[in-house]
Structure 1
Amino acid sequence: MKRTALSVILMLAGLAPLHAADLVPAPAEPAPPPALYIGPTFAFTGYFWASALSGKSSTLPPLPPAKIDLTFGDIFKDLNGGIMGAGEFKVDRWIVLTDVMFSKVTSTAKLPGLFFSEAELRTESLTLQGDAMYRLFTNQTVDFDLGAGVRYWNLDNKLTLKSGALAPRIDHSEAEDWFDPVVAARIIAHINDTWSVTVLGDIGGFNAGSKLTYQVVGLLNYKWNENVTLHAGYRLLSVDYKNGSFLYDVRMYGPLVALTYKF
Structure 2
Amino acid sequence: MNHHPAAWGQPLTAHQQFDMYSTFPVSNSSMPTTAPVGHTQQPLVTGTSVIGLKYKDGVMLAADNLASYGSLARFRDIQRLHPLGTHTVLGAAGDMSDFQYLKKELDGLLREEEALKLTDGHPPLAPKNIYTFLANLFYARRSRINPLWNACLVGGWDFEKDEPFLGYVDLLGTTYTAPTLATGFGMHLAQPLLREKFEATAGVDGTGPLMSAEEAEAVLNECMKVLYYRDARSINKYQIAKVTKNGVEISDSKSAPTVWDFAEGLRGYGAQEQ
The bucket for the TM-score relative to the shorter chain is under 0.3
Task: Give TM-score, length-normalised by structure 1.
Answer: 0.23
In the superposition, the TM-score normalised over structure 2's length comes to 0.23
| The structure with more radius of gyration | 1
Which of the pair is proportionally richer in strand? 1
Higher helix share: 2
Return the structure number with greater relative CO, CA threshold 8 A, min gap 6: 2
